[in-house]
Amino acid sequence: MKLILILSIAFFLFSCQRRENITPQENQILKGIEITDSIIVYSSSQEKIGWILKADYLKKLTDENKLNFKKIKLEIFNPEGIVSSTIYADSAEVDDNKNMIIAKGNIKVFSQEGDLFGNTLTWDRNKDKIISDDWVKIIKDGNTIWGERLRTDSNFEHVVIQKASAEGEISESQIAW
């Protein structure tokens, strides 16, 4: 019984002492990080929702003004308040200083203009431009295009892609060389 009491006191003293030995730098690092599960983030302006991001996990780096998400669903709304695009990805980083969202892993984008599949996408919200330097697959109007170096807007209305190959039918008037 005395041995259990002595071990309990020793454990308590060592565990308390350990906490007191955290350096101010380590303590500052811990204060700059917030972690949570299952989160929803909204962006709105003048009572209109710009986008909604849902994720299974969030790690917020307060000092860097960055949010790191896992298993995301990002819905982008047009000015009329209708979902124009939905993006799914394994992870995403929101950098509020640069006003950018970088999505990575198993990316699926579904929009009224077509669907896109790839491994990385960067959305520059300042310019409303979405880019990817990786290979992508785009399905639009029953046609499929593969290529790399994608450049488009959040509505996928103006798509530029390099090293493209396609499957489907288009008229000569639709080709812009």
- In sequence order, the β-bridge partners of residue 88 are 73, 108
Q: Domains, the chain, ranges and CATH?
A: 34-169 (2.60.450.10)
Whether pLDDT at 24 is above 60: no
Q: What are phi and psi of 25, to 5 degrees?
A: -65, -45
pLDDT in tens, 79-120: 888 998 898 999 989 888 899 989 999 999 898 878 889 999
* Alpha-helix runs per DSSP H in the chain: 2-20, 24-31
**pLDDT-above-90 percentage for the chain:** 23
pTM of the model: 0.68
pLDDT in tens, 27-80: 444 556 788 888 887 888 888 888 888 999 988 887 778 888 999 998 988 888
pLDDT at 16: 42
Q: Is the dihedral of CA 97, 103, 109, 114 positive or negative?
A: positive
| DSSP type of residue 131 | E
pLDDT in tens, 125-165: 899 898 999 999 988 888 888 998 999 887 667 788 888 88
